Structure 1
Amino acid sequence: MKIDARGKQCPLPVIETKDALKLAAPGEVIEVTVDNEIAAQNLRKLAEQKSLSYKSEKIGDREFLVKISASDSPISEATEEDAPNLCCLGQGTVIAISSETMGTGDDTLGKLLMKGFLFAISKQENPPASILLYNGGAKLSCEGSESLEDLKSLEARDVTIFTCGTCLNYYGLSEKLAVGSVSNMYDIVETLTKASLVVRP
């Protein structure tokens, strides 16, 4: 199976490769073409995490070909003892987002990173229990946000999405909320204090 991931932003090459590996026959080789060394390194890490054999080679000035062999062993089925743990992996996790950008430095890059972060979260097998959006993060759940589809996908999987009402009012976005529900500081604090893990990108 061949995947052309040139020009695709992180984490798309990794996610497309993971999806291909799920569909691949045992021993089948997935060939992924990417246009930067970082993407090739990320695919190498994916193969190492899954204990799969791989080969990476530079085939052009900015092109790399990564070959990953699908596992020869079928994925084992979960036992009854494993089931509770598997079901609860994301149950107590809360993601708190206070800005429409991820990290500090360049805002354009920060917005790109946040978009990639939410896309990656939407593809996790065990999504978080809740996502809290406040201050600048409130803009992510409103009309015009490039992350709307990812947030809607998460909501469809029973992820609770709360957006700070005070923040919506401050930014003049009260009528623009497009996913999730309006929340208040009491609910935000309660959600954070009850969480087993809080992730702040």
Structure 2
Amino acid sequence: MKLPIIAYGDPVLKRKAEEIDQDYPNLGELVENMFETMYGAHGVGIAAPQVGLSIRLFVIDADPFADDDEPDLKGFKKVFINAQIVDEEGEKWAFNEGCLSIPDIREDIERHETIHIRYYDENWTLHEESYSGVAARVIQHEYDHIEGKLFTDRIGVLRKALIKSKLDAISKGQVKVDYKMKFPNTKIKKR
């Protein structure tokens, strides 16, 4: 089932998410719904806060980024539960990012080249892994969501001031999207 995506301005997107345990109700169904929601919105990742749940869960499928430069992203589909980035290293590099909760806004965001992360998968198997390049970037973007951060928090004050009216419009539902969204400053759900 496709879930409505929470738009910029909703407090759930700025709250640090809580860890869950294996008894979290209907977790398997939630993971399936998150993937369906992400695919329906043409995304490569989505975090639980983006569907209104302040829990440490996100899913990614970086397959659309698989090409000659990033062949390891072919079939790179993962579930991250209670993730903790243990370390970030390497040069920071800019990449143009967008977000399903902030449609029609894209910005160059600098992030570390490599991350080391500890997380559980959907079968509650513990993983400690390292990722670099675009895989690290997608994970860092979704990880920010469970930490209560948005990519717009990583841009300069001047740049943020320049897009403030667009951000305000999004929170009011004054944006065209081809997926279900829930806007904080209106009672309307849009499709």
Larger radius of gyration between Structure 1 and Structure 2: 1
Structure with bigger strand share is 2
Which TM-score bucket, shorter chain as reference? under 0.3
Question: TM-score, normalised to structure 1's length?
Answer: 0.25
Q: Which has the higher contact order (CA 8 A, sep 6+)?
A: 2
TM-score between both structures, scaled by the size of structure 2: 0.26
| Higher helix content, 1 or 2 | 1
